[in-house]
Amino acid sequence: MKPKLHIGVLALQGAFVAHAQALRDCGAEVQLVRTHEDLNGIQGLVIPGGESTTMSNLLVASGLSEVLKDIFRHGFPVFGTCAGMIVLAERILDGRTDQISLGALKIDVRRNGYGRQNDSFEQDIIVPSFDTPFHALFIRAPVIEAIGPDVEVLASWGDRPVLVRSAHALACSFHPELVSDLRIHEMFLSIVENFSVTNPR
C-alpha cells in the first residue's frame, strides 16, 4: 500500500475545513497550516477561498508570506481556490496597495470579477481529462484576465479560463471543496505525487 500524501491546508481564514475534509476523503493526511512550523513534513499546500485582502494581511502577520514565496519559487506544489487563486497570482489588478501576491502563477486576476455575493452561480464546466462535466460553484469569483506562456488552461467558462495549471501550481476561480465531486482535489494530489516521486524531500 502506498503511503498517504501529507497535505497542508492554509487555515488562517476561509473555507479550510471543507478542503481538509475533501482531501481526507481522497485518502490524504491533512495538516492545518497557521505557522511556519506547520509546513514541516507536508508535500503540498492548499490555499482556500475566503477574503483575499484579509488572507493577505494574515499571511504577513503570521510570517508565512515570504516563506511561501520562497518554496513556491522552488516548485513546491500548491492549489489555490477563489481567494486562494488571487493570492497565488503574479498580479492582482484591483488589489489594495498593501495586498501581497505570492507569485506562484503567472496570471493576472481581478477580484469579484463575476460579481458580488448576489451574483454567485453554478455552472457545469468541461475538463477534458474528466469523463463528465464538473459542477462548479462560483461565489464572488475572481476573473483571470491574462495568463503567461507557461500556464495551461484546463477548463474555461465562456471565454474565461477558470481552471489553470503552471508546473506544480493549480488554481481555479470556483469552490470545488463545496461539492461532493473530488476529481479536482484528486488532480492536485496527482500533481503532488508526481512531484514527490521526482523530487523526494
Q: Is 122 assigned a catalytic role?
A: no
Q: State whether residue 29 is helix, strand or coil.
A: strand
- Spot the catalytic one: 82, 168, 172, 185: 82
- Spot the catalytic one: 90, 172, 177, 185: 177
Q: Is 168 assigned a catalytic role?
A: no
d(CA 136, CA 98): 31
d(CA 4, CA 6): 6
Report yes or no: 8 and 31 within 8 Å, Cβ to Cβ. Answer: yes
Task: Tell me which residue has cell 489553470.
Answer: 164
With CA atoms as reference, report the closest residue to 108 among 89, 122, 94, 121.
Answer: 89
- Spot the catalytic one: 19, 168, 175, 185: 175
Q: Is 26 assigned a catalytic role?
A: no
Cell of 53: 485582502
Residue type (1 letter), 18: A
Active site residues: 82, 175, 177
